[in-house]
Structure 1
């Protein structure tokens, strides 16, 4: 076939596609750049759904509120968001969101979200509402440091993705999410936060049954120097895998209560949980925390498999390698599977099964000591 014939066929194909109504490829997402001295929040407000905002290397002193689908990305540790010298007023919603909020009977979503974010004194807030979640937000390759509350906080989101973020020295949680589904938290570093490095919950405002996260993922994160490395509280259906947790007061906490549905139906696998021997004083909810590997309290149908849990040593009621602990509100651990873990040199025991729960199985673990005896 000659070049002229090939070109003719290509032209015919284009004409036929147009005649059949074949859509052209979608336009690429618009890109916006923020430089030191610019406002990240201004770029977020001006962005259209789906835009990519690139934050250039530098230090930015502000809080950022996101209420629409977009990507916010930086240059790793060279792009840092820190608290403003003077607390900012609540961020103004964009015109489209403001018009929606003003419509008769419509929720004032952006105003409520902005107020909550400002009051929380958080680095980056991703805020939806019960009526309308915020979907497909991506936070990439930047640092949030030194906020009074949280580095990153999300409410009412779906498919939030936080990857390669450094969240450090924040007054509550490093990276936290509530009332949300299908979140992915991967390749992050959360260190020296006052509470959990990564925190996934049904809600922090009230009691209630566990939220089905529809497959949330906490994977390949490095969690050091926090009170607890990873806390999953009153949630179901997620995976915590391939993380490094060391130097915290505690490694992984799975927390449930008497609500329905119960917390659990999750997998904790392939994590390295070593020497989490920092001491944290207890509070009204928990005793002192030190030397904690993995704790399940009020959990059901959770699989703990193939983890390396070594050298977690303490004298707290929660200390040890893998502990099924009696819930403070009376909920029992039921039908959990603890298998094929390497659990060594933890004190007071490598494995412990407390409380009155039923159906819990300890199988194939390599360990030295257990309470009661005979599980190693």
Structure 2
């Protein structure tokens, strides 16, 4: 969690119907784009390097060496959870200063990588992160299982218009199952329909604006969903957290580096403004830390000048927050501008946040 508090599905070209009688190496898709079939034990990187923009790399069920570097518009598609990438002898991501990743999609500030899709496969046991995006646009990560990675499950840094749908992120140790951050305008990146279980944070949006987190099931993490202003210029805001099921995020994560101890928190706002937290079910998140509780608003991390921005102008509405401890709703935001409306809850600090407003 090097700086958790202090560091897309694009409409990528969909290849319709793989030719069932494809030659071992490739099959044409309408004459222009090709499907490159890779069998277990063979090199995904070699297929990526030989593919042209718009092509598809089809990975058959089996085991493969990860550390795959992608720098052009491709679809990498497995055959489900039985297509498994594990660490191997060759880490091509290290060439892009991103060692320890299962698949890394890496562009530059001036030349983002556009329209990459990663889908229907497993990234398991990488030292850093399962699927990593840096300087991408319309990166799609769909139906990927990211499991037992050292830091994050699936991430996107300094990227726009990402889509992270139907993934399972499980037991990624130091950081978040799903992460979007370091982007002043994510331009509607969507994190939806995922299951995030047993990570430090289920979903983390840090130093980012215009991200939608909806319809996810988040359980058994130290913190379920967190929106964080880490003190960088521009802060965090204009994000939407809707219709998520956030239950029993009661693991305990000890403090390390600049990250405090975490545990027992459903939805956490560390600073941030103009965010909407609505129609979530937040139950049974119980802890005894300053950040513990159902839906918790705290000030941001201090900026370089030493001042922490309050969490302000946020709307917390129509949530069901029950059986959380110490409270269902907590507003220690440092601001009186946050609105709590029509939440179904029983306990709050300060009192009366659970009242209905008509």
**TM-score normalised to the size of structure 1?**
0.83
Measure the CA separation in 2 of the matches of 1:291 and 1:332.
Answer: 22
Gaps of 5+ in 1: 1-24, 92-112, 203-209
Equivalent residue for 2:226?
253
Equivalent residue for 2:213?
240
Secondary structure (helix, strand or coil) at the match of 1:144 reads strand
Secondary structure (helix, strand or coil) at the match of 1:239 reads strand
Shift of 1:26: 7.1
Structure number with greater CO (CA < 8 Å, separation at least 6) is 2
Aligned counterpart in structure 1 of residue 180 of structure 2, from 200, 204, 209:
200
Equivalent residue for 2:168?
189
Gaps of 5+ in 2: 1-28, 303-307
- Kindly tell me the number of residue pairs found equivalent between the two proteins: 320
Q: Are 2:142 and 1:163 equivalent residues in the alignment?
A: yes
**TM-score normalised to the size of structure 2?**
0.87
Q: Say which structure is richer in helix.
A: 1
Equivalent pair of 2:96/2:106 in contact (CA under 8 Å): no
Equivalent residue for 1:114?
95
Q: Are 2:156 and 1:177 equivalent residues in the alignment?
A: yes
Shift of 1:357: 1.8
Measure the CA separation in 1 of the matches of 2:83 and 2:231.
Answer: 43
Equivalent residue for 2:77?
73
Equivalent residue for 2:241?
268
Shift of 1:327: 2.2
Secondary structure (helix, strand or coil) at the match of 1:123 reads strand
Q: Which runs of 4+ in 1 moved over 3 A?
A: 25-28, 257-260
Indicate the larger mover: 275-284 or 338-347. 275-284
Measure the CA separation in 1 of the matches of 2:73 and 2:340.
Answer: 44
Equivalent pair of 2:66/2:103 in contact (CA under 8 Å): no
Shift of 1:131: 1.8
Shift of 1:261: 2.7
Measure the CA separation in 1 of the matches of 2:30 and 2:110.
Answer: 28
Measure the CA separation in 2 of the matches of 1:312 and 1:345.
Answer: 7
Alpha-carbon spacing, 1:185–1:90, altered in 2? closer, same or farther (3 Å): closer
Cα shift readout 1:323-360 (whole Å, capped 9, x = no counterpart): 00122311111100000000000000000000322310
Equivalent residue for 1:328?
301
Shift of 1:27: 3.9
Equivalent pair of 2:67/2:91 in contact (CA under 8 Å): no
Shift of 1:65: 0.4
Q: Rg bigger for which structure?
A: 1
Equivalent residue for 1:33?
37
Equivalent pair of 2:153/2:172 in contact (CA under 8 Å): yes
Measure the CA separation in 2 of the matches of 1:45 and 1:358.
Answer: 55
Q: Are 2:320 and 1:345 equivalent residues in the alignment?
A: no
